[in-house]
Amino acid sequence: MTQIEKRTGKRTALVLGAGGLVGAGWEIGVLRGLVDAGTDLTGADLIVGSSAGAVVAAQLSSGRGGLDALYEQQLDGEATEPAARLGLPTILRYALAVLRSRTPEEYGRRLGRLALAAPTVAEADRRETVARRLGRTTAWPARPLLITAVDAESGELTAYDEGGGVPLVDAVTASCAIPGVWPPATIGGRRWIDGGIHSTANAHLAAGHDRVVVIAPSARGSKVVLSPARQGADLAAAGARVEVITPDEASRKAIGRNALDPAHRAAAARAGRAQAASHAAAVAAVWGG
């Protein structure tokens, strides 16, 4: 693990947020569209990934296959994991947890209890699904990569990196462990849940970097979970150049109401690629600054 709030330096950071399998496709589409416009973010000095963004971050950081191949994978229709859904009772428990919580940690503890009690697939089976999704991306990259997860008991956020001795697939599995859908991941004798529970982007982990682009499939925030826009504003207030990209109307329609259904992945990737054009000038100004 890393001292997650002590990174400094005049460097670039790419933050990839939570948003399900379909949100991951949209993120890859946005990145591909920005390349179309002349800005490649994949060489960022730091990449932060949460949940779906953790998978994309791991794939990009590894340098295996490249962005073009990742984008084409979103379009090929291959189901790397089964469709899932947050049922209405679980959604209501999420909403109740927000209302009853005063901090992200308290919210994390409430959803941790939900996750620990929920009947799901076996933990080993879920890990194998994530491993298949990562494909040949099996080792931590040499450059800085942070993968977030939340302790199911304490509700505290952590960020795994190459120095913590945790296999990359385990870190990503933990980051993708959506409470009530997938089982908590066991690492170091503790249980871990989705990194997007603390916030949908965790953009605060890019503090100390001068140029930051946040790509977040979910723009949501609440009184306890800061939105990507709020976190981006905090980074800007601290002196960083920041651009936050969240889905526009066309992208929201393409993503649909169930971001865990891979049937929407191709449409989301195409929509993200198209949307990138409207952010290209702002991203270029940030990245080239």
For residues 99 and 84, give the distance between their C-alpha atoms in angstroms, rounded to a whole number.
Answer: 25
- Give backbone dihedrals phi and psi of 126, rounded to 5 degrees, phi first: -65, -40
CB 243 within 8 A of CB 286: yes
For residues 146 and 1, give the distance between their C-alpha atoms in angstroms, rounded to a whole number.
Answer: 9
CB 161 within 8 A of CB 140: yes
Cα first-last separation, the chain: 30
Angle between helices 265-275 and 20-36 (to 10 degrees): 30
Instruction: Examine the residue annotation and report whether 51 is marked as an active-site residue of this protein.
Output: yes
Strand stretches in 42-189, DSSP E: 46-49, 145-151, 157-160, 185-187
CA separation, residue 203 to residues 174, 222, 228 (Å): 18, 15, 7
Set 51, 62, 199, 227: catalytic member: 51
Instruction: Examine the residue annotation and report whether 210 is marked as an active-site residue of this protein.
Output: no
For residues 170 and 183, give the distance between their C-alpha atoms in angstroms, rounded to a whole number.
Answer: 13
For residues 42 and 70, give the distance between their C-alpha atoms in angstroms, rounded to a whole number.
Answer: 12
For every residue of 212-238, DSSP letters joined together read: EEEE-S-----SSS--HHHHHHHHHHT
Set 151, 170, 194, 210: catalytic member: 194
CA proximity to 211, closest of 17, 3, 45, 56 = 45
Active-site residues: which are they?
Answer: 51, 194
